Structures are given as structure tokens and as C-alpha cells.
């Protein structure tokens, strides 16, 4: 797995940088987020949950989905919605209680 950054959606607010427990994220000069070392990311998804702009996703391993497939959680009052997207951009949603 690993972190997928959609730079065009990043506004450089820094929320994800603040929450990463591994201090792996930083802002570049044009105020876009970047990751220092992808291999050190343990997919806790704290950064993904913190981004209100949808700029961060978690890559799914190719063993369970095609290359380029991603998953992103959305948190609500008492629920969590998982949105899975394949390499063609098709999405499937799973709504679960939490």
C-alpha cells in the first residue's frame, strides 16, 4: 500500500503534515504536500482522513486490486464511508457504522 497524492487538489493547508505520526509529510515551495519516504508510511490513514480536499488516498496493493486502485475513508457521525476507486476511475462505496 502507500500514500497517493493528487497534487492538483492540494491547497497546502498543512493539516496532513501536522497529523502524520511518522513526520513523513512536508510542504514544498509551491505549497504542495510531499512524502519524504514512501517505504516508511505504515498506512495509518491519519493524513488521508485529515484532508478535506480529497488530495490524499491510500493505494491498494496490486494483489487485491489493479495497479492504481485507491481507497479513501470519509468520517461522519456514527458512520464511515469507504470509497474504492479503480484505475479507470470507477468508484464503489461501502457505508459502515463506527
Contact characters 10-49, ligand SF4, x per CB under 6 A: xxxxxxx--xx-x-xx-------x-x-----xxxxxxx--
Enumerate residues 6+ apart whose C-beta is below 8 A from 88: none
Beta carbon of residue 14, minimum distance to ligand SF4 (angstroms, whole number): 5
Beta carbon of residue 73, minimum distance to ligand SF4 (angstroms, whole number): 11
Q: Say how far apart CA 80 and CA 98 lie, in whole Å.
A: 6
Q: Work out which of 4, 29, 56, 92 binds ligand SF4, going by CB under 6 A.
A: 56
Comparison of 14 and 68: residue with beta carbon closer to ligand SF4: 14
Enumerate residues 6+ apart whose C-beta is below 8 A from 9: 53, 54, 55
Comparison of 49 and 81: residue with beta carbon closer to ligand SF4: 49
Q: Running DSSP on this structure, what letter comes out for residue 66?
A: -
Amino acid at each position: 500500500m502507500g500514500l497517493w497524492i493528487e497534487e492538483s487538489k492540494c491547497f497546502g493547508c498543512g493539516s496532513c503534515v501536522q497529523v502524520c505520526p511518522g513526520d513523513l509529510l512536508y510542504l514544498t515551495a509551491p505549497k504542495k504536500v510531499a512524502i519524504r519516504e514512501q517505504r516508511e508510511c505504515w498506512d495509518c490513514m491519519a493524513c488521508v482522513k485529515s484532508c478535506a480536499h480529497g488530495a490524499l488516498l491510500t493505494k491498494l496493493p496490486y494483489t487485491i486490486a489493479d495497479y492504481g486502485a485507491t481507497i479513501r475513508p470519509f468520517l461522519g457521525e456514527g458512520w464511515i464511508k469507504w470509497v474504492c476507486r479503480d484505475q479507470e476511475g470507477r468508484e464503489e462505496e461501502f457505508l459502515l457504522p463506527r
